[in-house]
Structure 1
Amino acid sequence: MGNFNTCCIVDDDDFFVFNTKRIMKDTGFCDNIISYGNGQEAIDGLIGLLVENIPLPEIIILDLNMPKKNGWEFLEEFVKIPESKIQNCDIYVASSFISPENIAKSKKYEVVKDYVLKPISDDSLDLILSSRRVF
């Protein structure tokens, strides 16, 4: 059994998604991994889970630059979901570069737990594991 039941990757880069899934599986980070190619697919898919009475993933790895609905637009929609439905879900913004502006902006969202650099590595997953809220 993994550290988490379900994780979600929201990113339009298929190579990043493939490698992140591989690392998550190899390290036993989580039992189930779902992915979406953009923010619109992700918000639709996550709301679909809630409609089916399925809990949201505990961890969401969120890219900022995507077509249709970017990471910021996703966050604006996500925070409209009732607190009782998202309280066990932490979002980690994933980016290829350190942007002080993006880091500062991401801290404005209570659901964003941290900002991690791409590519995701064992160390990144350790950081996520160690920073995860205790419920």
Structure 2
Amino acid sequence: MENLTQHAFDKVMIIDDNELDLYIGAKLITNNNFSNHILEYNNASAALEYLSENQENADLLPQIIFVDIYMPVMDGFEFLENYKLLSPSLTDHCKIIMVSSTIDDRDIFRAKQDRSISLFAVKPITKSVFDGILAL
């Protein structure tokens, strides 16, 4: 009999300019059976372009988006402002998890105040973060 591993989500997106954080995040997602497919982006603009192009096709959309706060060109908060302009069929489909290694209370407060952010997590992402997402 085939042993099929149950994944929590079909698609997850990680947006982080740090290649090592992208790699570690993807590895943790895979090792914890958190997702079947991982969409990795090292800049928020390219991720936003993918979401915009596929916003009406639920099969191509991630259910969870991990987005880093501090990135060049477009940071996590700027990504969020643009994300909110996309179709409700996309924004209702996805949960945003803001991640950062910041210890800046203003950023943490800002992330926790934004209703479109489901969870704020401190890097590195751990199994307890996945458990927290599953409890949402």
Q: Secondary structure at the match of 2:106?
A: helix
1:3 partner letter:
A
Structure 2: which 5+ residue stretches go unaligned? Answer: 1-5
Aligned length: 131
Which residue of 2 is the match for residue 111 of structure 1?
116
Does 2:75 correspond to 1:59? Answer: no
Instruction: Give the alignment's TM-score, normalised by structure 2.
Output: 0.87
Instruction: Give the alignment's TM-score, normalised by structure 1.
Output: 0.88
Report which of the two structures shows the higher radius of gyration computed on alpha carbons.
Answer: 2
Distance (whole Å) between structure 1 residues aligned to residue 97 and residue 16 of structure 2: 12
Give the CA deviation at 1:54. 4.2
Q: Secondary structure at the match of 1:50?
A: coil
Q: Secondary structure at the match of 2:99?
A: strand
Moved more, 44-53 or 114-123: 44-53
2:63 partner letter:
E
**Structure 1 residue ranges (4+ consecutive) displaced by more than 3 angstroms after TM superposition:** 51-55
Which residue of 2 is the match for residue 13 of structure 1?
18
Moved more, 60-69 or 96-105: 96-105
**Correspondence 1:77-116 to 2 at 5 A:** 77-116=82-121
CA contact (8 A) 2:16 2:42 kept: yes
Give the CA deviation at 1:127. 1.6
Which residue of 1 is the match for residue 129 of structure 2?
124
C-alpha offsets along residues 20-66 of structure 1, whole Å, 9 cap, x if unaligned? Answer: 11111111001110011111111111112226664421101110111
Structure 1: which 5+ residue stretches go unaligned? Answer: none
CA contact (8 A) 2:58 2:90 kept: no
